Structure 1
Amino acid sequence: MSDTDVLWLRRDLRLHDSPALAAAAAADELLAVYCFDPREYGDRPFGGRDSFRYRKTGAHRVRFRREAVADLRERLRERGGELLVRHERPERALRTVADAVDADTVHYHTRPSPEEMGVEEAVREQFRNRPTATERHWGHTLYHVDDLPVRYTEIQDTYTPFRNTVEAGAEVREPLETPELPPTPATEPSPGEIPTPETLGVEPATPDDRGVHPFPGGESAALDRLESWMWDGDNLRSYRDTRNGMVGPDYSSKFSPYLNEGCLSPRYVKREVDRYEAERVSNDDTYWLVFELLWRDFFQFQVAKHGATFFERPGIRDREIDWADPETDPKAASQFRRWCEGATGIPFVDANMVELNQTGYVSNRGRQIAASFLANNLRIDWRRGAAYFERRLVDYDPASNYGNWAYIAGVGNDSRNRHFDVSSQAEKYDPDGTFVRRWLPALSDVPADAVHEPWTLTPAQQRRHGVELGIDYPEPVVDLEASYEKLP
């Protein structure tokens, strides 16, 4: 009697280095399934204490995800396999598919966020006391959870001690090769169609030529990007110096959408870094990419350790701050709306928010500036900003997004205040105003010495440079310098 296994794909849309696929491919027959879960789209409650409603998954990530699913389907078909696509809750779709093919086991990769764990539990519950087993695998971090020097519940809550402990006491496993695929079951159900953005309740994404990268979705694009950036462009040798850039495709790796949607394995990236160091150069710059992969691990294990507390307003530090609430405070509501739209009147903040809205991507430095301004200068509930990023980002990951926001808001993995001086950051990272003018055309003729603080221009200077504050570009939503005085 032959074994038939089902592979439930989630944010693991690749064939290389996939523990769940490797296990499922050992069966006599294999069928892969991906579900566009309706709960991930549209207007949803944040959940927990002091909840609010927000839109979860926006146009840019939907576009990327649809392309990634289509690419994986094609890669499976090239190898004689198939990918079933369903637009329904996984717990319902998987039971129907498993029953149709008389599946022995459903394999999948686990994820640590409470929301994703809840979906896993719903799937497992469907098969409880039934002949089909479920088997989960760990496959999205650089270091495997079982290889940590201590249990994940005991890892340090600050990055540097965590990094030192892990690097001294654990090894990164070798990535798995893509396995040979067994045939699909003879009773294979209909493959199904990839739902359109409109079906998912999302407006289609509109390309913007000003974006730093088009981010085509899928494993094929991920491997091409790694090859072109690391090897063809030889960009790894100077990565630490360029990583805080703002304009251009190669100042950073742009791997994050592929890592977060599972099109690219961090262990595969590490192996390529090792090969690059052996064949070309090994220095602080080449190490820095691994350093950032470990940052990503840190937040994954922090979510596994702290669970829902990681996403609560007081954070893991249980720190109560008098946050303004846009639901009840009209001033906060107006400020939050202007922050979302990139219309705060603070150019360095606005340019980053416009880039985010138009492309789904913004640099690491830009994210920090925008987050710090909302949480520290406006003192608006940090979860509102994190939820807005969740909607807009093409490279959204629950652990990294909410972990970084909580960190900057002062309720997360650091005991220091993490506010940024917007003006000094603008002068350092956009000294001639190129980035601001790229995204805020109203300021295109403002000189470098005023483009980051246009409110300093006299009315005559404004007329000379073609910008009238309050008409062509907004007045500042807050007195920037005075807002720092409110910080603890």
Structure 2
Amino acid sequence: MQKVNVVWLKRDLRLKDHQALSEALRHSLPIIPVFCFEPSLVQAKQSDDRHWRFVWQSLVDMNQELQRWDAKVHIFYQEVLPVFQYLSAHYQVQQVFSHLETGIKITYERDKTMADFFASRAIVWKEFKQQGVLRGRKDRENWSKDWNTFMSEPMQDPELSKGKFLTLSNTFMQSIEQKEIPEKWKTVQPNMQKGGESIGKKYMDSFFSDRVKNYNRHISKPELSRKGCSRLSSYLAWGNLSMRQVYQIAEKKKKEKFQVRNLTNFQSRLRWHCHFIQKFEMECRMEFRNVNRGFDEMEKPLDEMKVKAWKEGRTGYPLIDACMRCLKETGYLNFRMRAMLVSFLTHHLWQDWRTGVDHLARLFLDFEPGIHYPQFQMQAGVTGINTVRIYNPVKQSQDHDPEGVFIKKWLHELKKVPSSLIHEPWKLTGIEQELFQVKIGVDYPAPIVELELAARFAREKIWQAQKLPSVQKDAERILNKHTVPNRWP
């Protein structure tokens, strides 16, 4: 049998700064690049067709570029183990190259299974870190220094012209049992960002050449942030762009004295991005459990009607509902509005964070497990070490969408309500409801909770919980594990 090496692609769907591919190219053996749409992952409670459409688009984009080198990524709709079992039955796989993935429990268990399989076949598996995240780290000592070092290292751009790629035959591809790629993944959704390294680069270029000038001013605005923010999160989450690539371009622009303040703030958020992924890598149980075990004692009775209203964007609070409906259609929302959605669910509606964490994972086109779960818990106030923020959706609306542009864009039933009244439509008189053609409680719901009372109740409950010895004890453990005293982060 022919000896080969395999590059196993996961959340690294690019050809620039790709250490796994670069390392494979340094060996003389032919390379087989593979990607697996894993049924177990596609069916996971965090998954949505929008994610796999973005991945499919990314793979198509890669293969269009790889044609120049007479190469391609072989795409399977099958679990990883059967694919490698089949490859190993037809080729002598010597080494497998991939990037470390900080994923959900499904991917973590899969990686353990694959490690055992590779070991049983004497296949060397080489994993390379992404985003400066290190597996096996016990604390945060020197984390910031190590991260900065990683971001400053030269990019690992594969020398594709020197590669020897092996293309699997159609007969081989058809002989392995697998599912057909759904047509809905191949259908472009015009309201959502399209996947692919070439598209990601266009977003990156437009941000660093012009859009960055509004970064600080527009970052909290639900509508203006759609252009003022980088919009690179999906391309980073699925690996169309590398964190190091983005960081170094920002650094280069700063050295040219271009938009230094905006870029400095942007870079700080890149660091926090990786900080949270490292946090999840070190304590991945937070996918399922409170990171601070003391909060297990805090009771939040399930109210399915409230959760349903929140998920559907029918809470009676315009900014909350506009954000949820926007997410459903576009897959994107700026950070402040995401935090507000979580705050409203867990504080005003007094629901456990687990009632909504998977719903938002499905809606976020840029779903990144390492950010999603730590951030969700932080905004839900169950860490015991972070300031609890209870966002007032009316004030957020008045501050960040004062003319109601974003609200009217997504809540068509309120499109005739004047800006001065749109933030609190439940206050419309009967005559005003007739005038503006919206009947509260019929066309648009009345508020499902009383804002101030709900916030006061939540604040008192959380304060009480924070005083529990069990919460304080685990908060000390969390600080020791995930932070470095008197230093960032």
Residues 1:236 and 2:227 are matched in the alignment: no
Q: Secondary structure at the match of 2:7?
A: strand
Q: Distance in 2 between matches of 1:218 and 1:319?
A: 41
Given candidates 452, 467, 471, the residue that maps to 1:481 is 452
Match of 1:403 among 369, 374, 389: 374
Identify the match of residue 230 of structure 2 among 243, 253, 258: 253
Instruction: Give how far 1:317 is off.
Output: 5.3
* Aligned counterparts of 1:456 and 1:375: Cα–Cα separation in 2: 25
How far off its partner does 1:349 sit?
Answer: 0.3
Structure 2 letter corresponding to 1:137: F
Question: What amino acid sits opposite 1:136 in the alignment?
Answer: E
> 2-side partners of 1:191 and 1:338: how far apart?
46
Deviates more, 1:267-276 or 1:180-189: 180-189
For the pair 1:320 / 2:296, whether they are aligned, the reply is: yes
Structure 1 position 65 matched with structure 2 position 55: yes
Report how many aligned residue pairs link the two structures: 451
What is the TM-score with the length of structure 1 in the denominator? 0.86
Establish whether residue 136 from structure 1 lines up as the match of residue 127 from structure 2: yes
Contact 2:291–2:377 (Cα < 8 Å) also in 1: yes
Aligned to 1:145: 134
Aligned partners of 2:19 and 2:158 also within 8 Å? no
In the alignment, the residues of structure 2 paired with residue 34 and residue 355 of structure 1 have an alpha-carbon distance, to the nearest angstrom, of 31
2:275 aligned with 1:275, yes or no? no
Q: 1:313–1:381: 8 Å Cα contact kept in structure 2?
A: no
Write the deviation string for residues 48-73 of structure 1: whole angstroms up to 9, x where unpaired.
xxxxxxx3321322221110111122
The alpha-carbon deviation at position 172 of structure 1 amounts to 3.0
Correspondence list, 1:12-27, <5 A: 12-27=12-27
Partner of 2:241: 264
Residues 467 and 358 of structure 1: CA distance in aligned 2, closer, same or farther (over 3 Å): same
Which residue in the other structure is 1:52 paired with?
Answer: none
Q: How far did 1:429 drift?
A: 0.7
Q: Give secondary structure in 2 for the equivalent of 1:5.
A: strand
Distance 1:417 1:74, change over 3 A: same
- How far is the alpha carbon of 1:413 from its aligned partner? 7.5
Cα distance change of structure 1 residues 103 and 166 upon mapping to structure 2, 3 Å threshold: closer
Residue 152 of structure 2 corresponds to which residue in structure 1? Answer: 172
Are residues 358 and 323 of structure 1, via their aligned partners in 2, closer, same or farther at CA, if it must alter by over 3 Å? farther
CA deviations over 1:198-240 (Å, ceiling 9, x no partner): 6xxx7887846xx5xx411111111121112212xx2224422
The secondary structure found in structure 1 opposite 2:11 is coil
Shift of 1:305: 1.4
Cα distance change, pair 95–318 in 1 and its aligned pair in 2 (3 A): farther
Task: Please report how far the alpha carbon of residue 182 of structure 1 lies from its aligned counterpart in structure 2 after TM superposition.
Answer: 2.0
Letter in 2 for 1:13: L
CA distance in 2, matches of 1:360, 1:167: 29
Q: 1:241 to 1:320 in 2, by over 3 A?
A: same
Report if the CA contact (8 A) 2:327-2:363 is conserved: yes
1:300-379 alignment, distance < 5 Å: 300-308=277-285, 310-316=286-292, 318-320=294-296, 322-324=298-300, 326=302, 332-379=303-350
1:251 partner letter: G
Q: What is the match of residue 165 of structure 2? A: 184
Amino acid at match of 1:424: K
Percent of aligned positions that are identical: 24
Correspondence 1:441 to 2:412: yes
Q: Which residue of 1 aligns with 2:465?
A: none
Which stretches in structure 2 are left out of the alignment for 5+ residues? 461-489
* Alpha carbons 1:34, 1:83 under 8 Å: kept: yes
